Structure 1
Amino acid sequence: MKLGFDGKVALVTGAGSGIGAAVSRQLAEEGAEVVVADIDADAAQTVAAEIRSQGGRARHHVADVADAGAVEGLVKSVVETCGGLHLAVNNAGTDGVRKATADYPLDDWHRLLNVNLNGVFYCMKYEIAAMVETGGGAIVNMSSILGSVGLPTASAYTAAKHGVVGLTKVAALEYARMGVRINAVGPGWIETPLLSEHLEIASTRRMLALQPMARRGTPEEVAALVCFLLSEQASFISGSYHLVDGAYTAH
């Protein structure tokens, strides 16, 4: 299936590794000019260079999505440099400490919510405005299976990912008649650096043992759904939340 991103400009945050990098590669393979954004300058530059080496169009940008001013500057730079913004994937995120709710440190709570929830809001705020100016576009926000279920000792992460789903639904309603489609994707246990950091935590091991497919997913499997939702093949899909979890949440 040809997704038809020729002539489109795409912005992907958290694109220096994992799902964001896989999405960036697939968008470029389908013809989009991709802005690879990450807080890690070297990682962003590496992914952008890899895309160019394969014949794609990509540039990198350093941005901290928890900083509203930085996000505004990022979107402004994309529009000025690339001539517009048509597609966006708000993927940047972080994990927090693993503590029961009553023991969760306040500083860690605020840090995680600033990146995983406020960061998505900041991105949408400026991306939507840019897309409306040029007649529309499509956005995918990266939630998680923890946007619909819970995980003990992950109260901040779970709250943020539930919030991303809510933001997605509200914004989709608000901008449907302005040509902007907005959806959320909820990856399950995917082979990414973020998951690898927590494989020794007992609750994570227990959750993985419940995986019906008896394996973890790949970033490319998530990217395939993200790119479909961004494409005109999904032109009547907006305001929805799509799981990529190997039947995990079907329990």
Structure 2
Amino acid sequence: MRLSDKSAIVTGGASGFGAGIVRKFLAEGARVMIADINGDAADAMAKELGDKAVAQRVDVADGASVAQMAEAAQKLLGRVDILVNNAGVTHLPAAMETVSEEDFDRVFAVNCKSVFLTARSLVPVMKAQGAGVILNVASTAGVSPRPRLNWYNASKGWMNNATKGMAVELAPDGIRVNALNPVAGETPLLASFMGEDTPQMRAKFLSTIPLGRFSTPEDMGNAACFLCSDEAGMITGVCMEVDGGRCI
């Protein structure tokens, strides 16, 4: 019960890596807000997981929606000890100059602007408490970028840099900030990363991962639980690769 008496918000919490983090946090004793743009999926998951889970529809790229989420979290959870910025999107694999402006704007709004918006709404809450943990879910794409996902790569590199800057600035306030860099996993984004979900494309992806498998929601939940627990009390500004050796 490493997160006993803690309250957490997990954005993009109704599917993929976010759902794995939600389930692990609940298993370790936390109260969790499942915040997702798919409100129906968040509601269904909260009902499945019991009284310690609550649902909230949020568009993480919209300031008013994020502010509403923060207000609801304080009301429903009592306090916010942990914020996991997990929601993310990508553009389809393409030559960098052919990606549409609409797709570029969407990637940076969801992957980058969201971190600013959640910080604007929740850092003051954590400062008032004198403690808090923020975990940003970036990607190995931000550490070791590959061709044809250029603007997605850049957005995740931004998240890693923002994590370190946030960690330095917020440390005197008792707030730790870290990031996770997963390799591709069995999530709704997998087909988008690959362009097409075929056995051949999966084999090509897996050949770049020394441990020979994708990241799983359980892998992410375990790593997130450690970094957000008091066991990691001396760890801040770390961008941890959960990638089976992909970035070596």
Amino acid at match of 1:35: M
Amino acid at match of 2:69: L
Query: What's the TM-score once normalised by structure 1's chain length?
Result: 0.93
Within 2, Cα distance between the matches of 1:44 and 1:223? 17
2:162 is the counterpart of 1:167: yes
2:119 is the counterpart of 1:124: yes
Please tell me the root mean square deviation across aligned C-alpha atoms, in Å.
1.6
Amino acid at match of 1:243: E
Amino acid at match of 1:150: P
8 Å Cα contact 1:198-1:204 kept in structure 2: no
Matched with 1:107 is 102
Amino acid at match of 2:87: A
Amino acid at match of 1:101: M
Matched with 2:143 is 148
Q: After superposition, where does 1:72-221 map in structure 2 within 5 Å?
A: 72-199=67-194, 200=196, 206-221=204-219
8 Å Cα contact 1:121-1:167 kept in structure 2: no
How far 1:19 moved relative to its partner? 0.8
2:34 is the counterpart of 1:39: no
2:19 is the counterpart of 1:24: no
Query: What's the TM-score once normalised by structure 2's chain length?
Result: 0.94
Secondary structure, counterpart of 1:237 in structure 2: coil
8 Å Cα contact 1:15-1:36 kept in structure 2: yes
Amino acid at match of 1:38: D
Residues 163 and 203 of structure 1, relative CA distance in 2, 3 Å threshold: farther
How far 1:213 moved relative to its partner? 1.6
Secondary structure, counterpart of 2:117 in structure 1: helix
Within 2, Cα distance between the matches of 1:27 and 1:209? 31
User: Which 5+ residue runs of structure 2 have no aligned equivalent?
Assistant: none
**Percent of paired sites with the same residue:** 34
Within 2, Cα distance between the matches of 1:77 and 1:244? 31
Residues 197 and 156 of structure 1, relative CA distance in 2, 3 Å threshold: closer
Which structure 1 residue ranges, 4+ long, deviate > 6 Å from structure 2? Answer: 201-204
Within 1, Cα distance between the matches of 2:24 and 2:119? 22
Within 1, Cα distance between the matches of 2:223 and 2:155? 22
User: Which 5+ residue runs of structure 1 have no aligned equivalent?
Assistant: none
How far 1:145 moved relative to its partner? 0.3
Q: Pick from 231, 234, 237: which aligns with 2:235?
A: 237
8 Å Cα contact 1:71-1:123 kept in structure 2: yes
